[in-house]
Structure 1
Amino acid sequence: MPSEQDPATSAGPVTVRYWAAARAAAGTDQDVVDGGTVAATVAAVTALHPALAPIAAVSTLLLDGRAVTRDAVVASGSVLEVLPPFAGG
Structure 2
Amino acid sequence: MAWQHGCMATITIRYWAGARDAAGVETDVVEAPTVAAALDRAAAARPGDAEYARVIGLCSFLVDGRRLGDADRTRPLTGPVELEALPPFAGG
- For this structure pair, what is the TM-score category when the shorter chain's length is used for normalisation? 0.7 to 0.9
Q: Spell out, residue by residue over 1:16-60, the C-alpha distance to the aligned partner (whole angstroms, 9 max, x if none).
A: 100011100111100110121111111111112333211111110
Point out where structure 1 has 5 or more consecutive residues left out of the alignment: none
Q: Spell out, residue by residue over 1:51-80, the C-alpha distance to the aligned partner (whole angstroms, 9 max, x if none).
A: 321111111011001111322333231000
Indicate whether 1:30 and 2:27 are aligned.
Answer: yes
Q: Is the 8 A contact 1:14 1:75 kept in 2?
A: no
The one of 76, 81, 84 aligned to 2:79 = 76
Q: CA RMSD in A?
A: 1.8
1:61 — aligned with what?
61
Structure with the bigger RCO (C-alpha within 8 Å, sep 6+) is 2
Percent sequence identity over matched residues?
40
Point out where structure 2 has 5 or more consecutive residues left out of the alignment: none
Structure number with bigger Rg? 1
Q: Could you tell which deviates more after superposition, 73-82 or 19-28?
A: 73-82
Return the letter of the residue paired with 1:79.
Answer: E
Indicate whether 1:15 and 2:12 are aligned.
Answer: yes
Q: Which runs of 4+ in 1 moved over 3 A?
A: none
